[in-house]
Amino acid sequence: MTIRYRIQGGTPLTGDVQMSGSKNAALPLLAGSLLCAGVSTFQNVPRLRDIFTMLSILEFLGAKTTFEGNTVTIDATKIENKAIPHEMVSKLRGSIVLLGPLLARFGKVEMAYPGGCVLGKRPVSAHTLALMQLGAKDTSTNDVLRLEGKLKAGEVILSEFSVTATENVMLAAALLPGTTTIHMSASEPHVKDVELFLNNRGAKVTDTGTHTLVIEGGKLTPGEHTVISDYLEAGAFILAALVTKGRLTLHGVVREHLISFLDATKRANGVFSWGKDGTLIVDGAKSDLCGVKIQTNIFPGFPTDLQAPFGVMMTQAKGVSRIFEILYEGRMAYLYELEKMGAHIEILNAHQALIIGPTKLSGRTVASNDIRAGVAMVIAALCAEGETVITDVHYIERGYEKLEEKLTKLGAKITREEEE
């Protein structure tokens, strides 16, 4: 099925909007349910394609699941250790977080290589090398990812600050008697949410504050957990308010999750304030945007997933802005779509670009290259003159719950079109 958004730009966004639960937190949490024989319940789970894909994989493995409203229940009592086929994992890069739980529980895991967005080369070696340090043997082939062996608690030094590799080792270590130490661990908000989940299930996870985690593992018990709100969705709505010169009140934003992003927004003269009830009020009409430099980094640095949406805001800022993307070589492709709309951009190399503004964007037909580039195109369309048609919307709907509905309630003129 082909899905498009048709957006008529030029309308300031106004009103209140509630942030959804974080997909990046929900996926490893759902995988973590495999560690607990019994029923686990997760609140505030976004209704997204990736979530449904993960639940279908868990059901394939023998779990009983329900998804009502934003509540997921998973009974993982009768899980079977079966090879997960290509058609189930090819659409979900996040399925990689099943490695740790299945290996720890059964001593063997086999799946096709996970897929997902195209963001340059994203090998699985960070995961396999980490789990091998706990005793796994890598018997993978060119077609199948396979690890086996009885894991033992120990010391793991990650080869990079990988979020999903950190989560994989954490989930595996939580089931292993003894102490596991993870060096070079990631510290993104969704990693912290997995830490909280494991602590509440019976493990003891200690964050030293120096990118080192210490896990005391053992038997885990099922229970309830509420998924954190999506700070990446919050960043997108903040930027949408700024470029449309609108005024939005955002509910469910956690300042600590967006500390570097909010600092960059402030340096760009974006006007926002915090309400007494913890809401974030963004006033685009009062924002005299100016050029800034951003450099993506691991948390608490500027989030790579907000680089593309921020790049759109730069087209509306006075002066020269600079982007330095240090994590993914494929993250700059959206700039070519912005150029179609009239943006003045100089791409220096695969990781750096200059954006000269402000420029009036004009409606065009543009593509969603990945989840975050897709929402960037939506933000660009909202402030462009005329009509913009955005293709490959299936990417966007993998990461943003009810985006069309939320934007419509805020005054956006957006239509979702489906075609077989």
CB atoms within 10 A of CB 250: 23
Its CATH architecture, for the domain 2-17+230-419, is Alpha-beta prism (3.65)
Residues 392, 398, 402, 403, Cα dihedral to 10°: -50
With contact defined as beta carbons under 8 Å apart, do 280 and 238 qualify?
yes
Same fold, 2-17+230-419 and 25-226: yes
**Over the stretch 284-333, which tens digit does the pLDDT of each residue have?**
999 999 999 999 999 999 999 999 999 999 999 999 999 999 988 788 99
In this structure, are residues 30 and 215 in contact, taking their beta carbons and an 8 Å threshold? no
Domain ranges of the chain: 2-17+230-419, 25-226
The predicted pLDDT at position 390 comes to 96
CATH top-level class of 25-226 = alpha beta
Tell whether the model's pLDDT for residue 117 goes beyond 70.
no
- What average pLDDT does range 342-354 have in this prediction? 96
Q: Which helix (H) or strand (E) element contains residue 182?
A: strand 178-183
Q: Any idea what the Cα angle at residue 403 is, between residues 23 and 32, rounded to 5°? A: 10
- 258: nearest Cα among 229, 222, 226: 229
Annotated catalytic, 117?
yes
352 — pLDDT class (breaks 50, 70, 90): very high
How confident is the model at residue 119, as a pLDDT? 38
The alpha carbon torsion through 231, 233, 235, 240 (nearest 10 deg) reads: -160
Summarize the confidence of residues 104-119 as an average pLDDT: 79
Q: Which of 36, 117, 290, 383 is catalytic?
A: 117
Q: So what's the pLDDT on residue 118?
A: 41
Q: Give the global pTM.
A: 0.94
Using the structure block, give the residue that is written with the tokens 């299936």: 394
Residue 381 has pLDDT above 80, yes or no: yes
pLDDT above 90 coverage of the chain, percent? 87
Q: Burial letters for 88-110: b for 16+ Cβ neighbours within 10 Å, e otherwise? A: bbebbbbbbbbbbbbbbbeebbb
Beta carbons of 401 and 48 less than 8 angstroms apart: yes
C-alpha span between 141 and 346 (Å, rounded): 42
pLDDT category at 208 given cuts 50, 70, 90 is: confident
Over residues 231-256, the mean pLDDT reads 98
User: For residue 61, what are the β-bridge partners?
Assistant: none
Is the distance from CB of 91 to CB of 64 less than 8 angstroms? Answer: no
